[in-house]
Amino acid sequence: MSLASPADPVSLCAALIRCPSVTPADAGAMAVVRDALEALGFVCRPMRFGEIENLYARWGDARPNLCFAGHTDVVPPGDAAAWSAPPFAAQIENGVILGRGAADMKGAIAAYIAAAGRVLAKGTPRGSLSLLITGDEEGVAEDGTKAVVKALQAEGEIIDHCVVGEPTSSARLGDMIKIGRRGSVSARLIVEGVQGHVAYPDRAANPAPVLVRLLSRLLDRPLGAEIDGFQPSNLEITSIDIGNLAGNVIPAKAEARINIRFNPAYQGAALAAWIAEEAKAAGTDFRGRISVETSISGEAFLTAPGDFTGVVAAAVAAAGGVTPELSTTGGTSDARFIRALCPVVEFGLVGAGMHKIDEGAPVADIEALTRIYERLITDYFAKFAASS
């Protein structure tokens, strides 16, 4: 594999895109990152968990330690024939580099590596730079950042602050930084009854009305308004499945899936317990069985505005010419795991095209993001090395 220049973020981004790293496949992407970082003097440590390739790289051993976190895995490209160019060819058309992962988030990884190289070329920072790169963000997220964070904690590795390179910008580069996220709890509601003929309901136990009653009970609870700058919590039904093709048969089973995105007014475990309580109440006198399977993918968190968020926002304004909004909108990210190590914010390219056909990133934006990251690194050490 040819070594992409760590000084050129666009060529490095292209090299990463050409690795078809559809989660959980690595397809050589981590090697591209490792080769570029080792060329800059980083000590790179592969951290494989299960079938997932991860990497923790560090330059220096002093504090403060500023970390950049990102993921090389991508979602499937969908119908490749619908793309303007092959989804893993990294072609540049009209100033835009096209390819799965260009925005989410190989462009940001390339920009940060190039920015780190430019900073190091100017002298020795008063602290350390590190990168936590995973191949499991778009998948189940068990053997990626979550596992690496646990390992680093066990080893006593100290990361003082972290920037996650998610494509947080909304309409133009630099207009939004994520300083928190809502939590997420998912549940599968399963009602098992007794199948029978609709003319003889006494010989059956219909699970459908019980499921409807349960969903109604869950939807009837108001989950509250905005809190601390977060969107209101919301419960959404994502599927209802019975699978009964006969109009004269009472089904044997009905199930539904729900998801709750919740702000800091709630905790995932408390919401999971509430769902279980409502399931029990909805099944009173039901001659069947109700079961609930819940999973909590992350708790709500907030990195309170302060010195760190101020340094990031000021770097965006100075190098990007935009005053960013500090936001908590959007879905979950690996920041939900990294917050256990240190204060964390998310900032990267415009995310409008991520996961879509013809995902791409303007070359000018990748270069501008590199300048912003370079300014951020420089200003970070000026602020936190002086105060440490």
What is the Cα–Cα distance from 162 to 341, expressed in whole angstroms? 9
CA 23 to chain CA mean position, Å: 13
CA distance 283 to 2: 62
Name the amino acid, one letter, at 57: A
Residue type, 108: A
Which residues are part of the catalytic machinery?
Answer: 73, 137
What are the distances in angstroms from CA 105 to CA 108, 115, 167, 271?
Answer: 5, 16, 7, 32
Contacts 24+ apart (CB under 8 A), 274-277: 274/221, 275/185, 275/187, 275/189, 275/218
Handedness of CA 79, 85, 86, 89 (dihedral sign): negative
> 122: which residues sit within 8 A by CB, 6+ positions away?
none
Burial of residue 208 (number of CB atoms within 10 Å: 0-12, 13-18, 19+): middle
The β-bridge relationship of strands 55-59 and 43-46 is antiparallel
- What is the DSSP secondary structure assignment for residue 202, as one 8-state letter? G
- The crossing angle, in degrees rounded to 10, of helices 29-39 and 107-122 is 10
CA distance 149 to 344: 13
